[in-house]
Amino acid sequence: MNKKFLIAAILLCIGLLCLVPFVFSNKNRKIDRGDIFGEIYAYEKANYPNPNPAFQRIQGLSSRSYRDSGEEFRTMAAESYSKNVIPKGYEHVGVSFSFRSKGTVLIAYDRKVAPNLSLYVYHKYSVEDKTLTQDISFVDEQNNRVRIRNKGEVKKLLTQYSITNEDIKKYNKEILNDFFLRDWCKAFDSAFTPNDWGDVKVVDKWDKS
């Protein structure tokens, strides 16, 4: 009798293990595969309100439950990397999500250009339009991290610190492609690569200033 019970228990365990790949593949079918940023947004939303399992596998990146947030942030989340894992020369790298009417993903980073001044670069993805808008500003560290957004002031600071469009493209490759998206592709079975984003329209606002 005990032997029959043991065999039955082993067969049940084998059956449950066989179901695991099916469950995960079934969940992944729900993920938007149009482009890498839509994929990231869809996976974050699919796991809502729990932490994103892919982010939990990325070294140095925080990942928390939306249940831990205040009421006003229940449809938003912000994750950031620990300073010790960020590439040299950069102050902050983070990603945030909004699940409000028009879903968005915001990937941003700071690069120090002077003791009290940082270049702030952000990439805002619109789920509805499948558009990634890239823009820049500066952060005044001496004045409560006030953002300098005025185009004339931004252009003046770019010239003052000899920052060219090519420099910003280089920074984007270092942080967006080779750091954040590389981590994403390692942690998640992505349909894309850090350099192949899929069907997404990219608008470089900073390149037209």
**pLDDT for 76 beyond 60:** yes
**Does some domain include residue 102?**
yes
Give the mean model confidence (pLDDT) for residues 62-76.
62
**Does some domain include residue 80?**
yes
State which residues form the domain around 182: 31-208
Secondary structure, 3-state, the chain: CHHHHHHHHHHHHHHHHHHHHHHHHHHHCCCCCCEHHHHHHHHHHHHCCCCCHHHHCCCCECCCCHHHCCHHHCCEEEEEECHHHCCCCEEEEEEEEECCCCCEEEEEEEEEEECCEEEEEEEEEECCCCEEEEEEEEEECCCCCEEECCHHHHHHHHHHCCCCHHHHHHHHHHHHHHHHHHHHHHHCCCCCCCCCCECCEEEEHHHHC
**Does some domain include residue 71?**
yes
Give the mean model confidence (pLDDT) for residues 63-69.
63
**Does some domain include residue 148?**
yes
CB atoms within 10 A of CB 93: 25
pLDDT at position 101, please?
75
Here the tokens at position 74 are 């229940």
**Does some domain include residue 18?**
no
Here the tokens at position 107 are 């990937």
Whose structure tokens read 């185009």? 151
**Does some domain include residue 9?**
no
- The total number of structural domains that make up the chain: 1
pLDDT at position 135, please?
96
CB atoms within 10 A of CB 128: 9
**Does some domain include residue 76?**
yes
pLDDT at position 67, please?
62
State pLDDT tens for residues 100-154.
778 999 999 999 999 999 999 999 999 999 999 999 999 998 888 899 999 999 9
> Rounded to 5 degrees, what are φ and ψ at 48?
-55, 135
**Does some domain include residue 20?**
no
